[in-house]
Amino acid sequence: MRVLGIETSCDETGIAIYDDKLGILAHQLYSQVKLHADYGGVVPELASRDHIRKTIPLIEAALAQAGCTREDIDGVAYTAGPGLMGALLVGATIGRSLAFAWNKPAVAVHHMEGHLLAPMLEERVPAFPFVALLVSGGHTLLVRVGGIGRYEILGESIDDAAGEAFDKTAKLMGLEYPGGPRLARLAEQGVPGRFHFPRPMTDRPGLDFSFSGLKTFAANTIAAQGNDDQTRADIAHAFQQAVVDTLAIKCKRALQQTGLNRLVVAGGVSANLSLRSQLAALMAGLKGEVFYPRNEYCTDNGAMIAFAGLQRLRAGEFEPLSVKARPRWPLDELAPVE
C-alpha cells in the first residue's frame, strides 16, 4: 500500500509518500518560520493562507520525487487535529478532495498519533507495549502505548507545554523566533550552578506537568540579574536543565508505574540534545531502551502522517465524503487498530 500524507496543523507544510514495503519514497517540507518571525509567534490567518499556497505544489513535488502518478497512490492521509483550525482545514480539504477526485480512500489522522508512531519509521523499532513522551510546542504527554490506537494518558501539562515554555522564555531573553532551539544553543554557553530553577510538580505524586511557573521564574531572574550575554546564557542553562530534569523524573515514574522498560520520545523537543543525553543515562540505569525519530521527523512532517494513515487505512478505516478537522482531539479517543 502506498499513502500520500499531508500535514498542515500549524506552521509547517509537510507532504510525504510512504510505501509499506519500500518505506519513504518522498518527503517535502516547507517551514513558515520567516513568515512569522516578525510577529514573534505563529499568526493563524497567515499560516492558513501560506498552507493554501504551498500544499498543492509540494504534493506535485512529492509525486515527482517518488516517480509516482495519482494511479500509484492507494490512499490519502491528512492531519485532522489537534492544531490551528484554519490550517487543519486547508490540509483536510485538499486531502479529502484529492482522494475523491482520484477515487481513493481518505483517512483523518491524529497529529499526536503521527508523532507517537514516528520512531516506527526507523530501522530500530520499539516493540509494544512502551511508554511514550510526546513533547512539542503544543503538547506534553506521557502515554502508555499498548498498540496502535491503544493509548492510556498517564500525565499531561496542565498549562504550558514544554516547547511553549522554551519559546516564551526565549522571547523574554530577546531571542528571535523560533526561540526554543536558540535557547538550547545559548544554554550550551551557560555556567552550570549559577542559577537554580525549580523542578515543578516533582515534589508530589503524579505524572502531570506544569511549565508556566518556570517562565515566570525566568522573567523574575532576568529582571533581578540583568540581561547581559553571559547572564542570559546562564539563565538559559538553568531553565533548560529544569525542564529536562522534570521530564526525566516523570518518565522514570511512568516507567516504574507501568513496569515497562521501553521509552519512546517524539515531538519537536525530542531533538534537544540535553534531553536525549539525560534520558539515555536514565534508560541505561534502568536497563531499558529509548527510541527517537531522526531529527527531520521530530518536528511536524508528512512522513509520520502517511505512516499513521497507512496503519488505519490498512485496517479498513476511511472517511466519508466530508471534511473532518478537530482543533482539540484527545488522543485516548482513538479506536484501536485490530
- What pLDDT digit, counting tens, does each position of 165-202 carry? 999 999 999 999 899 999 999 999 999 999 999 999 99
Helix (H) or strand (E) holding 66: helix 44-66
Predicted confidence (pLDDT) per residue in 202-243, tens digit: 999 999 999 999 999 999 999 999 778 999 999 999 999 999
pLDDT, averaged across the chain: 96
Tell me: is residue 237 an annotated ligand-binding position.
no
Measured distance CA(285)–CA(150) in Å, rounded = 28
| pTM for this prediction | 0.96
The overall longest dimension of the chain from CA atoms, in Å, is: 63
Ligand-binding site membership of 309 (annotated):
no
pLDDT band of residue 324 (cuts 50, 70, 90) is confident
Output the pLDDT for position 200. Answer: 96
Q: Are 225 and 235 in contact (CB under 8 A)?
A: yes
**149 annotated as ligand-binding:** no
pLDDT attached to residue 204: 93
How much is the pLDDT for 137?
87
Average pLDDT over residues 86-113: 98
- Residue 74's pLDDT band, with cuts at 50, 70 and 90, is very high
180 is in an annotated binding site: yes
Residue 160, marked binder: no
Give CA torsion, residues 162, 167, 173, 176, to 10 deg.
160
pLDDT score for 227: 75
146 is in an annotated binding site: no
* Nearest-5° Cα angle at 18, 12 to 19: 180
Q: Which residue has the cell 481513493?
A: 104
Q: Is 272 annotated as a binding residue?
A: yes
